[in-house]
Structure 1
């Protein structure tokens, strides 16, 4: 009589030691010990993945069904089928979000965090609207900006970050209002109070300073 696969899976996940009777069985049964060793390796992998919710009763029902189905195959396949099904149970209990029969896959790809956008509103006597939000990319901050309906005029549109003290500012770059843009934020700038997003109309005069002709503006959350 072999140890129940679900019990093996729970020992592997929870790290509990088998009771004395089961421990005696494992010492004399290479098959059960091999299954437990394999499940512990799967558990270690599952715990290294991002954690998710504990599986529901429905998940356990499907796992149990998979375990039961292994009894219908021939003896030459039964051991591996039982181990794979129990491994799926380990992955599910460990919260790795892996279904029965799925393949364990890990990825190191980084994806930008979704920004929380703010609205950019027109200043008095100006027109236009827009949005801006910070995205985190490989530990650095970038500002994603879009705009529409900006007042037309000679020159170009420029994106600025203005400090909340109202005195300091830094240019992030030129904005194409049809396409929008993503701009690198200087390291630590937002933490130092550079949180007011400003889009200005700049003349083609070669002067790098702000024209004092701001069109739309909004403040990033602290």
Structure 2
């Protein structure tokens, strides 16, 4: 019997690809005085390319942007500070996010989040999506001193929710950090399908968040 659902954040609840594009457009407009020598589309494309879907630290991204585009009116530290303080204003949820969480809560399921990343930054994004109150536990790697795929961060979430691994499912997009890691601790895995990965061995595959309650129902039958 499934009693709890635990989620990844980026590319699972938060549409990070869309959010990044919205943010970079806004950043360019906001800091246009010092960036206007760079064509807007070129700035956006270069940021997305260097960011590598969030797997490259932003200090490196902005250092390269400043060097490559010869930005003189702003330091990379100022661009990074702008990213840290303003990204939350560009958060785009995946469709049906609130509807899905409401449905799970109506079925008395315990809910949690495990996210790799910086503590306050990720919490700001969760709050910006307006979903913080749905979760009984939110674990963010910087604050926990460990990150996925470390099994201990999964065990800590399960302990906080008061459920056994077999009584829970984990929903995420990354084949190793989310799917394999949650399976390794005995949770059922649900892969939020991402065309960039092949051959992901998840217990369930979804393309829309409304499918999460359906998966729970299927297991509990």
TM-score bucket (shorter structure): under 0.3
TM, length-normalised to structure 1? 0.23
Structure with greater proportional strand content: 1
Bigger Rg over Cα: 1
TM-score normalised by length of structure 2: 0.23
Which one scores higher on RCO, CA 8 angstroms, separation ≥ 6?
A: 2
